[in-house]
Chain A
């Protein structure tokens, strides 16, 4: 539990990341299929401007964990690449820990990390342990610092059994663990994580989640992560930023989003003998997102009612029907987000 002894991270409450009017437009060559068109495009190439990120603004305080959501092609990865210095924006300003990322100063690179599912920091042909030693040298970590950090990463990610095998012989999940460890050995103050749990099973996902929480708690690091698994985001962050087609759609707490987009509760009613009944006179029928609500997969009678009518409807249900069990729940975040993007 030594992470925060350096006291290097900026004090909580100070902005670690500032993004102002950030835009990125890709200039991509375009042509129709066919031989004639191939020849024509040789002489006169046509380009199309693809807007990936458009006037995005947000600030993230030091020590915050923020979930970055959006469908495929929304501009999430492009934004993360600009924040970590791999991409020049077309216009706009970014400050990360006071640095302009794309100047790629060594001091900046030492303070951040970008972990992407597919981009590797590890050499395939040698064990991860050897790559870790190389990272120690590159990031100028003292032996003591290095051993300490590696030990802690080992505790959290259980690296010992896998870090001596050549990386190419590891499973996807094992590789992701090593990849995360390699990205965190230098104790970055700002973490950009692009799908850190992609391809992992539920247990491994949960472990990585716990790990990130623990890392954040111990070091006060700032974390911005994208994920396809809503569970990652809801477990880790109170705040989410949503972008769609390059534009910022929402920035705020998950609870507020649910309240705004879906200001209703779900009532699950289990009737005697497992009866299925039409409850439309009590409230609108609720459609389970993936065929079932989280823990109430077995519940057949679902209605949704606005929050202020919950007490009244519940009382009526209990009085008028042979109720065996009754649950009141918030709508699942998946369906809230789905609605938000559909708007």
Chain B
């Protein structure tokens, strides 16, 4: 099995290099909104001294970390798979004795991530030079704990993304559904503003949803703003949502393939 992943990595990695223009577009898309929010909020914070306890540096560190976390647990399954379901080319993959999503699509995702990171890290360092953040609250143990938190977030995001993509077996409008999912992320994950600046009601709802595990939790964790108890609760919540996402994906995939093979691949 490891050998399959190793080979998949090699082929996907080689393939990814073909799409340089794609990469640039993606880079712009990734940069624009967090950088705009960052600029707006630091200006406000600078003018007022702070916004509900957030100083300008708090905003800078938050959004700079958001950029990295966002990229690390991003999922592009819909772009890799939806068209294959719609034009029937998925059948080629169904003939192979491996699970196409949990192998090929997953590795494709990771290869794209690795490639984009090579471009993003220099850009990110440039942004750091520009905004001069003070990451004084970040400790090594918290940074290390951030790694499983981000992997967990990617797992959840990937499986939900894959489940949504599999709706392509029934409808041609999966991109709309995916957009809706992304909108929920913006609202409940702390993409837009740090979650603790949102209205209390939104915060209460968000606390039970998977979205904050994707962004807010790892950022707060790395910045050293969570107690040991909070970290544990969030990890448990994350594992719970990972299992939910896995179950949902398995269900939709199974039914979807059944339908695919009923209507004619």
Chain A residues packing against B (C-beta within 8 Å): 26-27, 78, 81, 84-88, 102, 104, 106-107, 109-110, 113-114, 119-121, 123, 125-126, 130-131, 133-134, 136-140
Contacts and interface: CB of A to CB of B under 8 A. Distances in A.
Nearest to B93: A121
A119 B92 contact: yes
A193 to B, nearest CB: 13
B89 interface: yes
B95 A126 contact: no
A144 B96 CA distance: 21
Interface stretch (B1-9, B170-178, B218-226): B1-9
Interface string B210-221: 000000000000
Contact of B95 (A27, A86, A130): A86
A137 B96 contact: no
A88 B261 CA distance: 5
Most interface-central of A26, A27, A86, A102 (chain B CB within 10 A): A86
B11 A123 contact: yes
A121 B92 CA distance: 6
A177 B98 CA distance: 24
A72 B167 CA distance: 32
B196 interface: no
A137 B264 CA distance: 29
Nearest to A24: B264
A134 B6 CA distance: 9
A138 B92 contact: no
B97 interface: yes
A87 B261 contact: yes
B265 A86 contact: yes
A120 B89 contact: yes
B94 interface: yes
Nearest to B17: A125
B265 to A, nearest CB: 5
A138 B4 contact: yes
Top 9 closest A-B pairs, CB basis?
Answer: A106-B97, A109-B97, A137-B7, A137-B4, A125-B18, A134-B7, A125-B15, A137-B3, A88-B261
Interface string B85-107: 00001011011111000000000
B139 interface: no
